[in-house]
Structure 1
Amino acid sequence: MSHLTPSGDRPVSDRDDPPRRVKVGVGDLAVSSDGAVLTTSGLGSCVAIALVDPATEIRGLLHAMLPSADGDERRTPRPAKYVDSGLDTLVDELETSGASPGRLEARLVGGAEMLDLTAAVGPRNVERARESLAAAGIPLVASDVGDAVGRTVRFLPGGDLAVRAADGFERTL
């Protein structure tokens, strides 16, 4: 399929269009089955868990703030705020979108120790993410966690996770 540029003088194919971006806020999650780039920023002590079914390329991204909902019923309206309930919700949404939970692969980013006042939230988020992924039977294939630097991620079609640290370092997981 092609369309004209705003001036109307040359055809342009859809493959020239940049992919749609979906911003995932703090305590939120999103799923893509259409090639959108899932992005999140502000990963200090928070963690991003990126899941992909390589066979279908259906992907999901969670930006969790705290390790566990700890069964507090008042917290259930925002399950993505927590690593454990957020991961459960993300897996459910991926399955609803056509992904197979048995084929999911995970990438984990964040969990920095930003301030002494955070009561080690970053390392606890990372630990809880690893425990929750193991309990769900989802292999962790790559991670970029810890240190004292914030991060931004872009979850690309195909399953690559581009990580940019606040110190300027970039890598692809």
Structure 2
Amino acid sequence: MSRGRGSGIGTDSRRIKVGVGELAVATEGETLTTSGLGSCVAVALVDTRAGVRGLLHAMLPTEDGQQRPTARAGKYVDSGIEALVAALRDAGADPRRLRARIAGGAEMLDLTDAVGPRNVERVERCLDAAGIPIVARDVGEDVGRTVRFGAEGRLVVRAADGFERTI
């Protein structure tokens, strides 16, 4: 789990950068950020009552088919979501109160079996199986994204084309 520190964003005093294949948990006063979301997908989970948030930056849909489990659970959507929910629970979140926002999953290359849409589909299935509703999404298209997830529980998504939205 990543816990890097950086400069503040908005009213939050610290920034935690989540790298590719990583996940992190934050409390009040911390902003989670990740960049380089092309076909990768960001899964932002929050329990607003507990004041706990987490962010996952997953590269691939599933760990299935790997010869041995990876030490980097965040590399895959399925194992990453499991690890993030467990980390949030350990930080005081109630999994029944978690709400999800997702971003990324772009089709960066013109492929018949594009990774981005498969990542988004896997996120939807894993969150549904965990009983976690998706309350907002900014997925697909062919544009990369950067996100920041602040204490208010909203996900700010900046697209590579310069457009920014809060979901």
TM-score by length of 2: 0.90
Number of residue pairs aligned between Structure 1 and Structure 2: 158
CA displacement, residues 30-60 of structure 1 (integer Å, 9 cap, x when unaligned) = 0012320000000000000000001012000
Q: Which runs of 4+ in 1 moved over 6 A?
A: none
The residue type paired with residue 120 of structure 1 is: A
Look up the match of 1:70.
64
Q: Which residue of 2 aligns with 1:146?
A: 140
The answer to whether residue 66 in structure 2 is matched with residue 104 in structure 1 is no
- Aligned residue for 1:116, secondary structure, equals coil
- 5+ unaligned residues in a row in structure 2: which ranges? 1-9
Between the aligned partners of 1:87 and 1:98, the Cα distance in structure 2 is 17
State the AA in 1 paired with 2:37: L
Match of residue 128 from structure 1: 122
Aligned partner of 1:38 in structure 2 is 32
Alignment of 1:154-165 (within 5 A): 154-165=148-159
Q: Which residue of 2 aligns with 1:7?
A: none
Separation of aligned partners in 1, 2:51 and 2:153: 7
Select the residue among 44, 60, 64 that pairs with 2:54.
Answer: 60
Quick check: 2:16–2:32 contact (8 Å CA) kept in 1?
yes
Between the aligned partners of 1:102 and 1:93, the Cα distance in structure 2 is: 14
TM-score (norm 1): 0.87
Identity %: 66
Other structure's SS at 1:75 match: coil
Matched residue type, 1:30: A
Question: In angstroms, what is the RMSD of aligned CA positions?
Answer: 1.6
Of residues 80, 89, 93, the one that matches 1:95 is 89
Q: Which amino acid aligns with 2:70?
A: T
Asked if 1:114 corresponds to 2:79, the answer is no
- Based on CA coordinates, which of the two structures has the bigger radius of gyration? 1
Cα distance between partner residues in 1 of 2:101 and 2:13: 21
Gaps of 5+ in 1: 1-15
